[in-house]
């Protein structure tokens, strides 16, 4: 599958990744394919950073800034509904968020830099695993080599259905929301359904928990806050069938919390823990609260947003400066919290299937658009060999 640099085809490369998707923290084959292609370009990547993360470095040896460009490459536990020839061959797993396309775009940048290296400073291309679970960036930043780098500029993009194809969507300050999932388990005592008073049922506490979660945003009227109950269950079943003779002794509620501020999300988390604990104490119930997939807000710097806007317009790309942050979350937030930069989106088409849906597929046309915009940013920050005077 891997081909020399002269015949590298980014669309075929993406299609191959699409056929063999891997879940977060299990991306060994995908990482191997990325490493093989980089080596075919004559590059020496740093591999296995924070799990399966990869960084390839282009150093001009001349003074200047250091820029980092990031792409993600994990997939989702979704069964693909597609008839194209490169549909997922891993049952129940698919690239439903376009990370295969993000990776192909950054690989095109790697190919470009092989023949147009930076004149000043350094460029790092970072291929990140485990974005979907919010763990990949943090794991990579725990690697001493990466953590100790002085990065002046971070850039990343995500494709975005619902906007015209190739439209650059950007916003300074908070671009993507902070979010977290929560699992709340309530432990009581079962009893015969004819004698429910002999048990401790979590029914009322479960309803109050759902009500608390749904009303939580009202306590933060001055910021964006959103809660979504995604699952609730009460009582026991036997082989999938209801046990009508047993009063429930166990309940579970799953929810997602979001805000445009990481600080607000922490306050929402604290309020849930305190108020549910008080409710369970009153009802004499056991309680277990576990938090999953924490994402901080992705915060863009104003100067870096302007640089993206300037280069996008120079390339003739439409630009949409949005007023509201994206409600979804992005693990690039960890890089943007450590170093200044900007994340932006590229429109996938107004009628394009939505992200995280079984009929989604990354539009191949965006590979060239994204790589051209990345390369334009590199030329602005670092120049290229065509800028060098000819003796």
Three-state SS annotation for 195-236:
CHHHCECCHHHHHHHHHHHHHHHHHCCCCCEEEEEEEEEECC
**What CATH number should be reported for the domain holding residue 99?**
3.40.630.10
Cα of 74 vs its chain's centroid, Å: 9
Q: What is the pLDDT of residues 257-310, one digit of tens each?
A: 999 999 999 999 999 999 999 999 999 999 999 999 999 999 999 999 999 999
Q: Are 204 and 141 in the same domain?
A: no
The position carrying tokens 């003796």 is 391
Residues 6+ apart with CB under 8 A from 184: 209, 252, 253, 254, 255, 272, 276, 287, 288, 289
Residues 6+ apart with CB under 8 A from 62: 119, 120, 121
Domain end, chosen from 243, 273, 295, is at 295
Q: Are 315 and 275 in the same domain?
A: no
Q: For 362, phi and psi rounded to 5 degrees?
A: -60, 135
pLDDT, residue 388, reads 41
Domain end, chosen from 261, 295, 329, is at 295
Compute CA distances 293 → 178, 296, 324, 377, whole Å.
10, 10, 23, 31
Q: Could you give the 3-state DSSP secondary structure of residue 55?
A: strand
Segments of the chain with pLDDT less than 50: 1-4, 387-391
Distance CA 20, CA 342 (A): 30
pLDDT, residue 59, reads 97
Q: Are 251 and 320 in the same domain?
A: no
**What CATH number should be reported for the domain holding residue 233?**
3.30.70.360
Q: Are 332 and 71 in contact (CB under 8 A)?
A: no
Q: Are 35 and 162 in the same domain?
A: yes
Compute CA distances 42 → 12, 45, 224, whole Å.
20, 10, 47
Q: Are 131 and 16 in the same domain?
A: yes
Structural domain count of the chain: 2
Q: Are 332 and 127 in contact (CB under 8 A)?
A: no
- Centre a 10 Å sphere on the Cβ of residue 185 and count the other Cβ atoms it contains: 16
Q: Are 37 and 165 in the same domain?
A: yes
Domain range enclosing 15: 5-177+301-387
pLDDT, residue 1, reads 44
Q: Are 166 and 192 in the same domain?
A: no
Q: Are 63 and 126 in the same domain?
A: yes
**Planar angle of CA 337, 258, 186, nearest 5 degrees:** 120
Distance CA 310, CA 294 (A): 33
Q: Is 165 exposed, middle or buried (0-12, 13-18, 19+ CB in 10 A)?
A: middle
- Centre a 10 Å sphere on the Cβ of residue 205 and count the other Cβ atoms it contains: 23
Q: Are 315 and 333 in the same domain?
A: yes
Domain end, chosen from 250, 267, 295, is at 295
State the DSSP code for 62: S
Compute CA distances 180 → 73, 142, 156, 264, whole Å.
21, 21, 22, 12
Q: What is the pLDDT of residues 102-159, one digit of tens each?
A: 999 999 999 999 999 999 999 999 999 999 999 999 999 999 999 999 999 999 999 9
Compute CA distances 249 → 196, 212, 233, 253, whole Å.
10, 21, 11, 14
The position carrying tokens 């763990």 is 135
Cα-Cα end-to-end distance for the chain: 41
Q: Are 235 and 375 in the same domain?
A: no
**Planar angle of CA 137, 138, 143, nearest 5 degrees:** 95
State the DSSP code for 262: H
Q: Are 34 and 148 in the same domain?
A: yes
pLDDT, residue 7, reads 78
Q: Are 196 and 271 in the same domain?
A: yes
């Amino acid at each position: 599958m891997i081909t020399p640099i002269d015949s590298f085809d980014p669309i075929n490369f993406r299609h191959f990744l699409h056929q063999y998707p891997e879940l977060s923290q299990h991306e060994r084959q995908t990482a191997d394919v990325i490493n093989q292609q980089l080596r075919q370009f004559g590059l020496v990547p740093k591999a296995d950073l924070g799990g399966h993360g990869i960084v390839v470095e282009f150093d001009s040896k001349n003074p200047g800034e250091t820029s980092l460009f990031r792409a993600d490459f994990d997939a989702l536990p979704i069964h693909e509904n597609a008839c194209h020839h490169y549909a997922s061959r891993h049952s129940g797993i698919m690239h439903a968020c376009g990370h295969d396309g993000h990776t192909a775009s950054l690989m095109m940048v790697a190919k470009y830099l092989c023949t147009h290296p930076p004149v000043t400073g350094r460029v790092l291309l970072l291929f990140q695993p485990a974005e979907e679970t919010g763990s990949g960036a943090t794991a990579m930043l725990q690697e001493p080599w990466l953590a100790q780098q002085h990065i002046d500029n971070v850039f990343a993009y995500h494709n975005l259905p619902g906007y015209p194809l190739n439209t650059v969507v950007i916003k300074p300050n908070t671009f993507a929301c902070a979010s977290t999932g929560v699992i709340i388990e309530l432990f009581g005592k079962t009893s015969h359904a004819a004698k429910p008073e002999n048990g401790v049922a979590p029914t009322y506490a479960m309803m109050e928990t759902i009500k608390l979660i749904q009303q939580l945003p009202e306590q933060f009227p001055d910021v964006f806050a959103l809660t979504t109950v995604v699952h609730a269950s009460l009582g026991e079943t036997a082989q999938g069938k209801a046990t009508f003779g047993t009063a429930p002794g166990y309940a579970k509620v799953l929810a997602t919390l979001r805000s445009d501020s990481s600080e607000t999300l922490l306050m929402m988390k604290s309020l849930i823990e305190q108020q549910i604990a008080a409710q369970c104490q009153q009802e004499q119930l056991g309680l277990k609260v576990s938090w999953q997939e924490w994402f901080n807000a992705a915060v863009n710097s104003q100067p870096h947003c302007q640089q993206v806007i300037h280069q996008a317009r120079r390339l003739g790309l439409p630009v949409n400066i949005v007023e509201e942050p994206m409600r979804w979350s992005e693990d690039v937030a960890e890089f943007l919290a450590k170093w200044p930069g900007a994340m932006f989106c590229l429109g996938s088409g107004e009628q394009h299937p939505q992200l995280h849906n079984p009929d989604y597929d990354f539009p191949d046309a965006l590979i060239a658009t994204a790589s051209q915009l990345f390369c334009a940013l590199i030329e602005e920050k670092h120049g290229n060999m065509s800028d060098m005077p000819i003796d």
